[in-house]
Structures are given as C-alpha cells and as structure tokens.
Chains A and B, each alone.
Chain A
C-alpha cells in the first residue's frame, strides 16, 4: 500500500457571514498519496479553495479532521508550501529579499539565505531580476518569484490554488511546464486546484472532480506518460477521452443538475 500524506476525513466547513450560515464544504473525504500530483477540479464556489485553506491550516474545519504526515492539522506547518492565485510578494522587498523571506523566518544566516535564493532564482529563470521590486515584474516573472519563494523552504507538500489562472494562455502553458520540470524527481506531493479541466489532465497523476459543497463526484488516475509537455500531451487521443469523461462528471455535479435530481 502506498503512503497517504494527506487524509481529509469527513470534513465540513461552515462560514457565518452577517448572521447567515454558508456551508462551503460538507462530508468531504479524500486521501492524497505521498509524491503524487493531485488536481482538484470544480466550478467556482464548489469549495475547492476552502479545502486547500483547511489543508494549509489557515482555517479550521467545523466538523471532521485533516491529517497530514500522521498529525492532525491545527495550523500552518513549515513543510507546506502554499501558492495562491494572487501574488503575495512583499512590495517593499526586491525579488531576492522576497525569495529569502521563508529562510529569514527560519533564522538562517544571510550568506546561506542568499546562496540558496540565488540558486533558486536561476532555476526559475529570474537571473538579472534579483534587485527588481515586485511592481517592476511582469505577471509571469512575479509568478516565478512566488514559486521560488515557496520552493526555497523545501516543502514536501505543495498547495497550489489556481496559480496560473491570471496569466495569458501562452504564459500559462510555459509556467505549467516549468512547474512540472521543477516538480519532477523532487518527490514532493502536490495538490493543485484549478477550474480548468485541460490543465488538470495535463498536469496531474490524478484528477478529483468536486461537486457542490466539495463532495467528490469523480476521481480518476491519469495514466499519461511523464515527463509531460503540457502542449504535446493535449494532442494524444486518450487526452480527449479523459476530457470528455471529466466534463460529464463536472456537469453532473453542477448545481443545476443537483436541483433537478
């Protein structure tokens, strides 16, 4: 049996806004194997970001629990990296100092921090931009910097919440390949949230389709060979078969059909 790194056990999450209860998640269970690249797909409002926030420890579940590396999640952990759709680089720090930030918090020496940051800047292709401030970066460069900042702490579990959805199509594919390249051979576990089915198939070892309130409506392994090129992989005949199946699952789990059933 393979190792389970993250186990979501019958989790529910309710938010109260202005006295009204909103159920974001209800009865969600999911296991994520160590070293796998799992894509969570769902329409907006299905609670996929909430689920990721719960795994990150940013918020606590109303019911149920989440176990990661054998421990119940009760807050942020150092072995978890989180990348959101929005850039959260500190605007008053240049690229180098932003990327060093997680190591600064861990109280590493300056020279050591800088050495690691410079190496990572090279890996993500940001050479020459070390001293640029976030506002001086293009959307793609800012993403690369955010990616580097997440990777510098050498997390085992990467949580990615629609990380490339704000980029144009070409840049998105470039960054998807970049991420696959950085992930390959790292042994890291990735939970990748997206609303884009094609992205999910091209990237993941496994695609989980979430319906209303985060219920798992479909779960399948993606047997496409690695290393993958996100553009080339779309041309494979099996890609479209999977895509068809996932579309069906996605629309079956959508609010319109749930009301009808």
Chain B
C-alpha cells in the first residue's frame, strides 16, 4: 500500500471512531460514562481559552524533566562507580535489586510523608523510576566492553586512562543513552502517578479532579492532553535515537508496528 493511502485510511478510521462515539453519546445514560467528542472538544477550547491547559501541562512537564534529569544523572554516576568495582557491586547487588523490585507507586505514600504533597514528591517519584532504568543500562555498558577493543587500544600505546576515556566511557555512554531514551516516558509516568495520588495541579490532578466530579468530558480532555504530551516525548526519543545511534547495528526503539 502506498504511504498516502495509509494516511487516508488512518483519517477514515479516526472519523469512524469519532462518529460512532458521537452517536453512542446521544443516549443520556451512555453520555455520562463516555462523554462525547463534541463535549470534549468544547472542554479543550474552554481550557485553552482560560489557560488551565497551559498551567497544568507546564507543571507536569516541569516534574517530568526534573525527575528525568536527576534520575539519569544519578543512574549514570552509579553505573560508572559500580561498573568497574565488582566487589562493591556484588555486596550491593541484593539491596539494589530489592529496591528495584518494589513497584514505584508503592513508594508514593512514603514520599508524601518525607516531601509533602508538592512538586518535590512527584520529581522524586519520577527520579526513582528513571534511575533504575538508566543505572542498569550504564552498568551493563561498563561491564560488557569488548576486551579485544581494550587490548587493541592498549597495543596502540594507550594507558589505563586512555582506555577508560576512549573505550569504556563511549561504550558505556551509548548504553546509558539507550537507558535514558527508554526512561523518558517513564519519567512522565512517575510524575502523573504522583499527581494522581496527591496533588492540586498537573495533568494527573486534572484527571483526578474531573473524575471525582463525574465530569467524564474533563477526564477525556485531560487524557488527550496527556496523549499529546507523551507523543511529543516519544518523537523526542526517536530523534535522539536517530542522532546518537547511527553507528549501531541494533534496531531503534520506536514503538511502531510498520
């Protein structure tokens, strides 16, 4: 099928879904549960007009970015510290694995006690989620350096510092970046989950507060904002992926079926 047809069929499918949705919602009872495309559209327009959308989106983006940055930096640092140090790694292994195994949502109540219900708690939740993904990837990168590459550089006259800077770091950085790429959407999950649990702003809060008032149009409107945000983040991931991994054989990570 030509690419042009794919786009046409996508639009046809979208229109069909919206039409079906709209016709289902003509029933008052069903409209309570699923709202309707027109009501959701009106809600979006209203939110855009009064600035609600920008305010909450900005908060969520802020938490996501801060959480991602903290988690990625901490994960890379920990990977580089524990990577070459096998003994320390072996000692800490069960502790790290046990903390990693906890579903991060379960930590949220504790973080509320520690950091309150403000922005910090969401950032910490996102940080913890991102940290482990980046950490494990960096660790693997540091440990899986091909010994033949190390020998080759050694034979060229490279000392241990050269080997670290020119072989181990670039090799590990590429897998650290892979981890970071995977972690970007998880940072968003961490932030939104934090907002859903306890907050008075952010997209998660918008969903939660609309749902508590049985305002399904509001819930869907907030979900659409979240979808757009996630799509933008995924596109960003794809762009970073293409830029950083041209030398790599592995397929990129984009979630596409075609």
Residue positions of A touching B, CB distance < 8 A: 56, 58, 76-78, 80, 82, 84, 86, 88, 90-94, 101-102, 104-106, 133-135, 153
Q: In the complex the two chains form, is A84's CB within 8 Å of B247's CB?
A: no
How many Å lie between the Cα of A93 and that of B149 in the bound state?
Answer: 12
Closest approach, in angstroms, between the C-beta of A92 and any C-beta of chain B? 5
Main SS of chain B's interface residues? helix
Contact A86 B247 (CB under 8 A): no
**Which of A88, A91, A102 is close to B247, meaning CB atoms less than 8 Å apart?**
A91
- By Cβ-Cβ distance, the 8 closest A-B pairs, closest first, are A88-B152, A133-B247, A102-B156, A78-B157, A76-B155, A82-B155, A92-B170, A105-B158
B246 and A133 within 8 A (CB) = yes
User: With A58-B151, A135-B248, A135-B249 as given contacts, are A90 and B170 in contact (CB-CB < 8 Å)?
Assistant: yes
Contact-residue size bin, chain B (C-beta under 8 Å from the other chain): 20 to 34
With CB as the reference atom, state the residue of chain A lying closest to B246: A133
Closest partner residue, chain B, to A82 (CB atom) = B155
Q: For chain B, residues 145 to 187, give those with C-beta under 8 angstroms from any C-beta of chain A.
A: 146, 148-149, 151-158, 162, 166-167, 170-171, 174
Q: A82 to chain B: which residues have CB within 8 Å?
A: 152, 155
Of the residues B151, B157, B166, contact of A106 by C-beta under 8 Å: B157
Contact B157 A102 (CB under 8 A): yes
Q: Give Cα distance in the complex from A56 to B155, angstroms.
A: 8
Quick one: which of B50-75 are within 8 Å of A by CB?
Answer: none
- The tally of CB-CB contacts under 8 A between chains A and B is 54
Docked Cα-Cα span, A86 to B148, in Å, equals 8
- Please give the distance in Å from B225's CB to the nearest CB on chain A: 38
Known contacts A76-B155, A105-B153, A106-B157; A88/B248 CB under 8 A: no
**Which residues of B have CB within 8 Å of A135?**
247-249
Known interface pairs A58-B151, A101-B166, A105-B162; A91-B156 also in contact (CB < 8 Å): no
- Give the residue name and chain of the B residue nearest to A81 (CB): B155
Jot down 24 A-B pairs with beta carbons below 8 A, ordered by A. Answer: A58-B151, A58-B154, A76-B154, A76-B156, A76-B157, A78-B157, A82-B152, A84-B148, A84-B152, A86-B148, A88-B149, A88-B151, A90-B149, A90-B166, A90-B167, A91-B248, A92-B247, A101-B156, A102-B156, A102-B157, A105-B153, A105-B162, A135-B249, A153-B157
Residues in A with CB closer than 8 Å to B170 are 90, 92
Q: Write the B236-258 contact mask toward A (1 if CB under 8 angstroms, else 0).
A: 00000000001111000000000
Judge whether B153 and A134 touch: CB under 8 Å: no
CB nearest neighbor in A for B151: A58
Note all chain B residues with C-beta closer than 8 A to A94: 247
Nearest Cβ on chain A to B152's Cβ, whole angstroms: 4
Given contacts A92-B247, A135-B249, contact A105 B149 (CB under 8 A): no
Q: How far is the CA of A84 from the CA of B146 in the complex (A)?
A: 14
Residue among B166, B246, B247 facing the most chain A CB atoms (10 A cut-off):
B247
Q: Mark B218-230, 1 if CB is under 8 A from A, else 0.
A: 0000000000000
Interface residues of B in 118-165 (CB under 8 A from A): 146, 148-149, 151-158, 162
CB-CB nearest in chain A for B173: A92
Apart from A58-B151, A91-B247, what 16 extra A-B contacts exist at CB < 8 Å? A56-B155, A76-B156, A82-B155, A84-B148, A84-B152, A86-B148, A88-B148, A90-B149, A90-B166, A90-B170, A92-B171, A105-B166, A106-B157, A133-B247, A153-B156, A153-B157
- B154 and chain A: residue at smallest CB distance: A76
